[in-house]
Chains A and B, each alone.
Chain A
Amino acid sequence: MSLLDTLASAPPRQGALAPLGVEAAATLQELGLPMKKTEAWRFTSVRELVSADLAPAPLELAPTAAPPSGHDVVSFRGGHARFVAPGATTLVLGRLGDGAGSEHLRVGAAFAALNSALFADGVVARVTGAHESPLFFDYEGIAGHAAYPRALVVLEANAELTLVERFRGQSSLTSAVLEVVLGPGAKLTHLRTHEDEGALLGAVDVRQARDSVYASHVFSFGGAPARLDLGVHLEGEGAECRLDGVYVAAGATHLDHHVRVDHRAPRSRSAMRYRGLARERATAIFDGQSHVHPGAVGCEAHQQNRNLLVDPTATVHTKPHLEIHVDEVVASHGATVGALDEDALFYARSRGLPESEARALLTYAFLKELVDAVDGQGGSALRAAMRDALLSQLPGGEALGALEEELS
């Protein structure tokens, strides 16, 4: 079904979510879905995706088994969520359809708007106080179906949470939207891994009140394409975000990261660090935007994107961009695309490492610096998991992992 037919045949939404659906459908009817001539989608073709069947996967595809107990897990399948009530009082899970938190929902642009128009129900997580263990959102993509998972995470004042999102499977099309609202002094550590080998289009929208901290760690290893639009709004004074990303693109993989920070409050701070590599015939894209709006004095905004281009058949596009409308700002940006450092390569080889092993070690080291930066609740277990996930993507990764074992 085409876009307009799909919108027309979607069952009308009831209750608190109804206005969002109406507004989203109107947006899409007016603007349609982005094509290659849209600047933001210049390097990522969605023509095939848009011409496929966009109808949401039926409810029968929802997870059949309850998520494992002992952890706070929300399982998404075909866009439909299943979870059990958390044990601790610091976390409440609910359905968006029940109305809780619907005032926070935004239509969004492009595929996020498609999600807003078509998601059947979504999940809302509300955190009060420091929640001790990570909250997992597991998304399973299904071939032959489009899925529109939707989630809202709200941290009350001074609340703390580690959120781990994992995308796996073989989606025909998954358009996932996550919205995050951080109250004053709240702190969210957010890990997100893209290992879905299908088409994954994700939007993450974060709104931060004063003195809140958002630490994002994105690990993109799969997707054809996997596109992330991460937008952070620093709305309260002293709000801070650290946005790290690691990507490994190989084979037919196409990884596109669009990251944008809007500084709208004084003394807010942002730092983007994206690093990745592209080999074989894969493509990696980084588009970073930092906007410091009038009145946001005393801000700090940093961007860094470093790429290893391993094979001449691989492609990297990088576009860091700062836009600053006030005087007192500390800002920096930089991007590199290149090969491994020849000095380091010779140094390692001179110690006895064959060239392929030396390359593997240096490549791993380059990316692992951002794995080491992961903290939050359960940080060491998460670092170990991310390290293993990264190693599984690299040639010679197993041997590299063994080297690190048992040394202390």
Chain B
Amino acid sequence: MLSIHDLHVSVGGTPILKGLTLELPAGQVHAVMGPNGAGKSTLSYALGGRPGYEVTAGSVTLDGQDLLAMDVDERAAAGLFLGFQYPVAIPGVSNLHFIRAALNAQRKARGEAELSAADLMRRAREKAKLVELPAELLKRAVNDGFSGGEKKRNEIFQMAMIEPRLAILDETDSGLDIDALRVVAGGVNALRGPDRAMLVITHYQRLLDHIVPDVVHVLVDGRIVESGDKDLALRLEREGYESARTEAQREVRA
């Protein structure tokens, strides 16, 4: 579904991603782990098309379409969803209003009919329950005055409303206590399915106890240095990222 090949990304002229290759088939959940500053958020922003994240080489396709040639909103309409590490507050726009605007825009871009107000409300109530987002937060301004946990749950709520083909979740676990983590993971797991793929970016192994990945990739200094099954995450937890780094260097030398 998602094919990233030899991706190079610079921010402000500084190379951050330095030849990243990753294959994510439909129906799978992959985790990307790595130390702070490795380029994990850069990867998600580059895939999302954030201004300032300059792709200098490489290719990315989503279902065979050239993702990098699309505008930010076209990527969303093509099925990409970004869960933000730091969700942004938008005072003055209610959560419901915002998600309705997003859904309508995506549907319009795909030539589909708008969702009726009644359908939207029904779906919103159902999905809010899924991530235990209090109903009154639907009427509040987007992420405005939300706690850290509420913001992350709101990201998963939006994902559940949008039902994207590909979700990239950037450190959705950071700042969550164990109960909130379980709720967020439950929301993510509910969306797993044969037609959907997810890239779960995390710094810690503990999220992967709840969202069990098919593949774990280790991202160090702008490259995937090692990939393996879920046990790789446990080893990283024990031994740290240094082991992956040195192992990768050994491979390069060999």
- Residue positions of A touching B, CB distance < 8 A: 341-344, 346-355, 357-358, 361-362, 364-369, 372, 403-408
* B106–A350 touching, CB < 8 Å: no
CA–CA, A372 and B50, complex, Å? 32
* B50–A403 touching, CB < 8 Å: no
| Chain B CB within 10 Å, residue with most, of A342, A343, A357, A365 | A365
* B100–A346 touching, CB < 8 Å: no
Q: Give the residue of B71, B73, B91, B117 whose beta carbon is less than 8 angstroms from that of A406.
A: B117
CA–CA, A358 and B105, complex, Å? 10
Q: Nearest CB to that of B82 among chain A residues?
A: A350
* A353–B102 touching, CB < 8 Å: yes
**What bracket does the count of chain B residues touching chain A fall in?**
35 or more
Q: Give the residue of A341, A353, A365 whose beta carbon is less than 8 angstroms from that of B73.
A: A353
Q: A347-B87, A403-B97, A404-B97 are in contact. Are A352 and B105 (CB under 8 A)?
A: yes
The verdict on B57 contacting chain A, using a C-beta distance below 8 Å, is: no
Q: Which residues of A contact B73 (CB under 8 A)?
A: 349, 352-355, 358
Q: A342-B51, A407-B120 are in contact. Are A351 and B91 (CB under 8 A)?
A: no
Q: A365-B92, A366-B92 are in contact. Are A353 and B51 (CB under 8 A)?
A: no
How many Å from the CB of A401 to the closest CB on chain B?
11
Q: Which residues of A contact B106 (CB under 8 A)?
A: 352
How many Å from the CB of A86 to the closest CB on chain B?
36
How many Å from the CB of B95 to the closest CB on chain A?
10
The verdict on B69 contacting chain A, using a C-beta distance below 8 Å, is: no
* B100–A403 touching, CB < 8 Å: yes
Q: Which residues of B contact A350 (CB under 8 A)?
A: 48-50, 72, 75-76, 82, 84
Interface of B is mostly: helix
- Residue positions of B touching A, CB distance < 8 A: 48-51, 71-73, 75-77, 82, 84, 87-94, 96-106, 109, 117, 120-121, 141, 158, 162
Q: A364-B92, A407-B120 are in contact. Are A351 and B100 (CB under 8 A)?
A: no
Q: A347-B87, A407-B100 are in contact. Are A361 and B109 (CB under 8 A)?
A: no
* A351–B93 touching, CB < 8 Å: no
Q: Which residues of B contact A358 (CB under 8 A)?
A: 73
Q: Which residues of B contact A348 (CB under 8 A)?
A: 90, 98, 101-102
How many Å from the CB of B17 to the closest CB on chain A?
18
Q: Which residues of A contact B72 (CB under 8 A)?
A: 346, 349-350, 355
Q: Give the residue of B90, B96, B102, B104 whose beta carbon is less than 8 angstroms from that of A365.
A: B90
* B92–A368 touching, CB < 8 Å: yes
* B96–A352 touching, CB < 8 Å: no
* B90–A407 touching, CB < 8 Å: no
Q: Which residues of B contact A361 (CB under 8 A)?
A: 93, 98, 101
| Chain A CB within 10 Å, residue with most, of B71, B91, B96 | B91
| Chain A CB within 10 Å, residue with most, of B87, B93, B104 | B93
Q: Which residues of B contact A342 (CB under 8 A)?
A: 51
* A407–B97 touching, CB < 8 Å: yes
CA–CA, A405 and B82, complex, Å? 28
| Chain B CB within 10 Å, residue with most, of A342, A343, A362, A366 | A343
CA–CA, A86 and B89, complex, Å? 46
* A351–B102 touching, CB < 8 Å: yes
Q: Nearest CB to that of A405 among chain B residues?
A: B117
Q: Which residues of B contact A367 (CB under 8 A)?
A: 92
How many Å from the CB of B215 to the closest CB on chain A?
25
CA–CA, A319 and B76, complex, Å? 42
Q: Nearest CB to that of B72 among chain A residues?
A: A349
* B92–A403 touching, CB < 8 Å: no
How many Å from the CB of B211 to the closest CB on chain A?
21
23 contacts between A and B (CB under 8 A): A341-B88, A344-B90, A346-B50, A347-B88, A348-B90, A348-B98, A349-B76, A350-B75, A351-B99, A352-B73, A352-B103, A352-B105, A352-B162, A353-B73, A353-B102, A354-B109, A362-B93, A365-B91, A368-B93, A403-B97, A403-B104, A407-B94, A407-B120
CA–CA, A73 and B108, complex, Å? 45
How many Å from the CB of B177 to the closest CB on chain A?
25
How many Å from the CB of B223 to the closest CB on chain A?
25
* B92–A351 touching, CB < 8 Å: no
* B76–A351 touching, CB < 8 Å: yes
| Chain B CB within 10 Å, residue with most, of A355, A358, A361, A406 | A361
Q: Which residues of A contact B104 (CB under 8 A)?
A: 403
CA–CA, A348 and B158, complex, Å? 12
How many Å from the CB of A115 to the closest CB on chain B?
37
CA–CA, A155 and B163, complex, Å? 57
CA–CA, A406 and B96, complex, Å? 11
* A357–B105 touching, CB < 8 Å: yes
Shortest 7 CB-CB contacts between residues of A and residues of B = A365-B92, A352-B76, A351-B102, A352-B106, A349-B72, A347-B88, A406-B117
* B90–A347 touching, CB < 8 Å: yes
* A365–B101 touching, CB < 8 Å: no
Apart from the given pairs A347-B84, A365-B141, 17 other A-B contacts in the complex at a CB distance below 8 Å: A344-B90, A347-B87, A354-B71, A354-B105, A354-B109, A355-B71, A361-B101, A364-B92, A365-B91, A365-B93, A368-B93, A403-B97, A404-B94, A404-B97, A405-B117, A407-B97, A408-B121
How many Å from the CB of B65 to the closest CB on chain A?
16
Q: Which residues of A contact B120 (CB under 8 A)?
A: 407
How many Å from the CB of B238 to the closest CB on chain A?
35
CA–CA, A86 and B35, complex, Å? 73
CA–CA, A57 and B253, complex, Å? 93
Q: Nearest CB to that of B93 among chain A residues?
A: A365
Q: Nearest CB to that of B106 among chain A residues?
A: A352
Q: A346-B50, A349-B72, A351-B76 are in contact. Are A407 and B98 (CB under 8 A)?
A: no
How many Å from the CB of B236 to the closest CB on chain A?
29
CA–CA, A349 and B77, complex, Å? 10
Q: Which residues of B contact A403 (CB under 8 A)?
A: 97, 100-101, 104
